Structure 1
Amino acid sequence: MPKRSNSASRRSLTQKGTYRYVSSVLEDNSNEPQSTYGVQFVWKPSYYHMQGGGALWQDGGPPRSRHRGLRGLAEVALEEDLDEDEVTDLLEPEIQPADTDKQWRNLFVTCNGNTVRIYEAKHKESPSLLQFYEDSDTTEQFYCVAWTFNVTGNHEYWVCAAGRKGIIRVIDVQNFRLRSSLTGHGDAVNDLKVHPRDPALVISASKDESLRLWNLRTGATCAIFCGLRGHRGEVVHVDFSQDGSRFASCGIDNSVRIWDFYDNEDVVKGIKESHKVADLGVEDPHVYIDETGTRRKTKVPICQFPFFVTRKVHRHYVDCVMWVGELLLSKSVHNRMILWEPEQDRESLASPATEYTLLEEYVLDVCNVWFIRFAMDRHRRLVACGNDKGMVSVFDLRLTPSKPLCVINPKDKYRYSAQFVRQCAFSEDGSILLAVDDTSSVVQYERLD
């Protein structure tokens, strides 16, 4: 497919609902800057988040959504979000997303080299640096970051960061301290995601061909996903479904896999036991005392059988996958993102579903390098993806044909530059879009309303 002309890009920048370049921040001023691989905004907590993690699993786990298509569970979940008045009292003023005027503060986190930075994005201004953390090991290279918060106590916001060393650092950004370090992976961690209904649960995707589910309250592994039917290469990306009952993973084995919490009752049991350990305040996260006073040792279940597996959607490395209702949007290195629907039935636990239906393709200009990850807004309607030349394409999944709303560039809006955009992020209301690249730049765009 031919590339879109510069004049088309210029016209798209003037349309309502598209984005324009505002400002940028350089994180590394050295002659050989390190890449900024990860960026994420903090979003408002939902009703489920505020209930605490353990309550969700008492009845066997999160209820499964029956919503399908582009109008998935996001609309329902948003109705249950807390309003700004309730959010205001959660955090201390130093790092509080809701300020005294009841306006949500657009805080975001980035990772560059062995550093993690907390910023605030403001309209028509450059991002303001609020906090800076540096790993003691200068050889560390963080690849991913994720926001969550303490489900008990004062609901402090935490940031999780991981990368080359395979160690997940959990930072308490309100109290300015490292809370814990999670170890277990045998190689680098490429991605982190927080459970959409239990903020104590974080899943990590690793180069060691496994995924691990962690409970941040104890620092222990709840479950491991690998083995017989698991990935046969580096796991690059992971994403929870919006109801939290399953997650999708992808990697350099060209595959996309769906894992279901309901497939293995030991997984849900392991999550419940880990919360019980936290509630009892047991020092050893792998040992707890039951209701009868008996000392019991927790077991880490290993899930080897995904619900769904395919290597046919993409013919090369798959470096990003995200849920859109019950559909999946995934990307490889062949200049396009694909929206598709996985089969919902399978023969048995050992025989995963493999059939799928292709629905739409979204063409990207010059995007043939792996580890370029797209982002979606909170409603899962807008998608932003960078490319090899410093440009960002924004799509609206509700519109057909599948042409970008805009193609934007930070330096010269109508000509190619020379850096890889590694990841993008939307703010809470979608009015601000960020992109980070290999020159350590954090670029801010704003929506034209």
Structure 2
Amino acid sequence: MRSTAKTALGSEPAVGTLTVSKKKEYRVTNRLQEGKRPLYAIAFNFVDARYFNVFATVGGNRATIYQCLEGGVIAVLQAYVDEDKDESFYTLSWACNVDGTPFLVAGGINGIIRVIDAGNEKIHKSFVGHGESINEIRTQALKPSLIVSASKDESVRLWNVHTGICILIFAGAGGHRNEVLSVDFHPSDIYRIASCGMDNTVKIWSMKEFWTYVEKSFTWTDLPSKFPTKYVQFPVFIASVHSNYVDCNRWLGDFILSKSVDNEIVLWEPITKEQSPGEGVVDVLQKYPVPECDIWFIKFSCDFHYNAAAIGNREGKIYIWELQSSPPVLIAKLSHVQCKSTIRQTAMSFDGSTILSCCEDGTIWRWDAAASS
């Protein structure tokens, strides 16, 4: 289903003397076989501190919620099987209602977004709008009732999970020209998002001039279909950092981490030209090599404070990079003789002490940092 795009293989990252104090040791503490279908996404709940050790996975037409307990134990809390047997979820995100009820939001091949009320164990809403499959969903940390979705239909959509309204559609004249594979909210600038995709670009968008519509979505009492959804046709910045599909991007402050199929994650700064919106220059700051990571739809994750990033590869190995150091420091390289399947996504716990991975063969692996002596 997820095609491969081969490029020249990267070399093993150079590890310098800086790693002595930074290196961490992790060991496998659990392995679960969830099913036979590939697992495409896994994520801890960073939205609500009450559930810091709760995570979820999606694969096939199933979404499952787990809890990480002491001693490597993983407990199943809830499981949802979509009524459509042909559904295949590719992405999930944690969100919450305005009253604090925890939501798990999932989307995939059918283009329908399911908002699961995990507090009451039922479907809260289903969002229909995208014309093609959904590749990623992310939640606005400052307003966790807002989510954004990236789709094969070349658009990004902003939704209100409380009211079910599609507020904004980022597409059109200046939009993506192929599948949008990843999207992320800026951590502190509530108006900004970044998206990337199969047109090899990363685009930064601003919601500032449309913010009244975002506010209106919380008080709208008419049918969601009657809401005056607005199109945002022009990004404020377009970056060509990569020469191939870009399948994961995350903000690191005002910088951006992005990944293509070139066996590396790139950290760069967008420098805009005030006189010509949409244009600017890219200052590449650092590169984090990830060998055997030359197929698309492999996504990296970070701990809550963005101290480190963890990414798997097509050989079942995980690379953990220190993000706050220059030159880059490889904290750990994780491998297990029985983990040979492609790792589609990782999840780092709040403090980075636990790392989870979900694999093409339907397995979940848990790694825990060894106690320092």
TM normalised by structure 1 equals 0.76
Structure 1 counterpart of 2:207, which letter?
A: F
Residue 402 of structure 1 pairs with residue 324 of structure 2: no
The offset of 1:445, in angstroms, is 0.7
Residue 3 of structure 1 pairs with residue 6 of structure 2: no
RMSD (Å) for aligned C-alpha atoms: 2.0
Partner of 2:40: 37
Matches within 5 A, 1:244-255: 244-255=190-201
Matches within 5 A, 1:316-395: 316-348=244-276, 351-395=277-321
Change (3 A) 1:249 1:18: farther
The offset of 1:4, in angstroms, is 5.8
Residue 428 of structure 1 pairs with residue 350 of structure 2: yes
- Mapped to 1, the partners of 2:106 and 2:229 lie a distance apart of 23
Of 141, 148, 166, which aligns to 1:196?
Answer: 141
Residue 232 of structure 1 pairs with residue 177 of structure 2: yes
- Mapped to 1, the partners of 2:87 and 2:225 lie a distance apart of 28
Gapped regions of structure 1 (runs ≥ 5)? 46-86, 89-96, 98-104, 288-297
Q: Deviations over 1:174-221 (max 9, x none)?
A: 111111100000000000011121111110000000000001111110
The offset of 1:418, in angstroms, is 3.1
Contact 2:22 2:329 in 1 (8 A): no
Structure 1 counterpart of 2:206, which letter?
A: D
The offset of 1:283, in angstroms, is 4.7
The offset of 1:127, in angstroms, is 1.3
Contact 1:192 1:204 in 2 (8 A): yes
The offset of 1:151, in angstroms, is 1.2
Q: Deviations over 1:344-374 (max 9, x none)?
A: 33324xx412311011111111110000000
The offset of 1:391, in angstroms, is 0.4
Matches within 5 A, 1:226-305: 226-243=171-188, 244-262=190-208, 265=209, 267-277=210-220, 282-286=221-225, 298-305=227-234
- Mapped to 2, the partners of 1:285 and 1:44 lie a distance apart of 25
- Mapped to 2, the partners of 1:326 and 1:23 lie a distance apart of 36
- Mapped to 2, the partners of 1:13 and 1:176 lie a distance apart of 47
Matches within 5 A, 1:70-85: none
Q: Secondary structure at the match of 2:204?
A: strand
Partner of 2:6: none
Between structure 1 and structure 2, the one with the greater Rg is 1
* Structure 1 runs (4+) greater than 4 angstroms displaced: 12-16
- Mapped to 1, the partners of 2:23 and 2:148 lie a distance apart of 37
Residue 133 of structure 1 pairs with residue 142 of structure 2: no
Contact 1:114 1:139 in 2 (8 A): yes
Partner of 1:26: 33
How many residue pairs get aligned? The number is 358
Partner of 1:75: none
Contact 1:27 1:112 in 2 (8 A): no
Structure 1 counterpart of 2:78, which letter?
A: Q
Structure 2 counterpart of 1:41, which letter?
A: F
TM normalised by structure 2 equals 0.91
Matches within 5 A, 1:82-121: 97=51, 106-121=53-68
Contact 1:24 1:126 in 2 (8 A): no
Partner of 1:70: none
Query: Which structure has more helix as a fraction of its residues?
Result: 1
The offset of 1:22, in angstroms, is 1.5
Contact 2:154 2:171 in 1 (8 A): yes
Contact 1:13 1:20 in 2 (8 A): no
Change (3 A) 1:177 1:355: same
Q: Deviations over 1:107-135 (max 9, x none)?
A: 10100110000001123223111111000
Gapped regions of structure 2 (runs ≥ 5)? 1-9
Query: Which structure has more strand as a fraction of its residues?
Result: 2
The offset of 1:286, in angstroms, is 4.8
Change (3 A) 1:310 1:325: same
- Mapped to 2, the partners of 1:398 and 1:340 lie a distance apart of 13
Residue 440 of structure 1 pairs with residue 362 of structure 2: yes
Q: Secondary structure at the match of 2:123?
A: strand
Contact 2:106 2:115 in 1 (8 A): yes
Structure 2 counterpart of 1:25, which letter?
A: L
- Mapped to 1, the partners of 2:23 and 2:201 lie a distance apart of 37
Q: Which moved more, 1:383-392 or 1:399-408?
A: 399-408
Q: Secondary structure at the match of 1:355?
A: strand
Contact 1:25 1:126 in 2 (8 A): no
Q: Secondary structure at the match of 2:217?
A: helix
The offset of 1:13, in angstroms, is 11
Partner of 1:60: none
- Mapped to 2, the partners of 1:346 and 1:204 lie a distance apart of 28
Change (3 A) 1:192 1:380: same
Q: Secondary structure at the match of 1:394?
A: strand
Q: Deviations over 1:380-430 (max 9, x none)?
A: 120001101000000001233324211102335xxxx53110001111222
